[in-house]
Amino acid sequence: MNLIGIVGTNADSSTNRKLLQFMKQHFAKSATITICEIADIPAFNEPDDKTAPLEVKLLSEKITASDGVIIATPEYDHSIPAALKSVLEWLSYTTRPLIEKPVMIVGASHGSLGTSRAQTHLRQILDAPELKARILPGSEFFLGRSLEAFDETPTLLNQDKVGELEGDFAEFLSFADMTNEISKKNPEQAASKRKFAWENVNGGVAK
């Protein structure tokens, strides 16, 4: 299975990047995970022609070609970073590659509570009409005190958390398989969602 791992921050140093790097090496036998950075993607500015910058176009193409997406998000002020929100705004306003795409959300935080608020917020965002990702239900991987969680390779040191992540990832692979199979049988559903426009909404229902 070919997956895209999005580092949900533009920070030079991030334990969420380390988490994705660990997942890439740890799950190499069951999936190929390509890690994508967002630091070079410009801030969303709502262009009139709805044309995506090259950096957004390249990320969109990788998402479209993948079997699923993993988003690793920090938590800033009870929410996701502005850089990640900006990327999602670009994708929703232009190419809309996340529609019907299986998505797994993970998160690492320096504090003890992990990224629970940010992950809840991200789930709400990904359910927006222009995004409509298929988000893995019932599984939330929170990694607290992440500055102490990895060695230099980086390997996740807490074996209980490794086991938890293995269970969540196995569920995601099954979820992605089922979701993609359903999408293949109903391609018109995704095509219809990509045509969503707020100006066509009447009484809360998009025409």
Q: Average of pLDDT values for 79-99?
A: 97
Mean pLDDT of the chain: 93
pLDDT at 13: 95
- Look at the block and give the residue holding tokens 């950075």: 37
Q: Average of pLDDT values for 65-76?
A: 97
pLDDT at 59: 98
Percent of the chain, pLDDT > 70? 97
Which residues, at least 6 apart from 199, have a Cβ–Cβ distance to it below 8 Å? none
In whole angstroms, what is the distance from residue 128 CA to residue 172 CA?
Answer: 21
Cα 152 to the center of its chain, rounded Å: 25
pLDDT at 197: 85
pLDDT at 202: 59
pLDDT band, residue 63 (cuts 50/70/90): very high
Please say if the pLDDT value at position 71 is more than 90: yes
CATH number corresponding to 1-192: 3.40.50.360
Which sequence spans correspond to the domains of the chain? 1-192
pLDDT at 207: 41
Please say if the pLDDT value at position 161 is more than 70: yes
105 vs 48, more confident: 105
Which residues, at least 6 apart from 66, have a Cβ–Cβ distance to it below 8 Å? 2, 3, 4, 34, 101
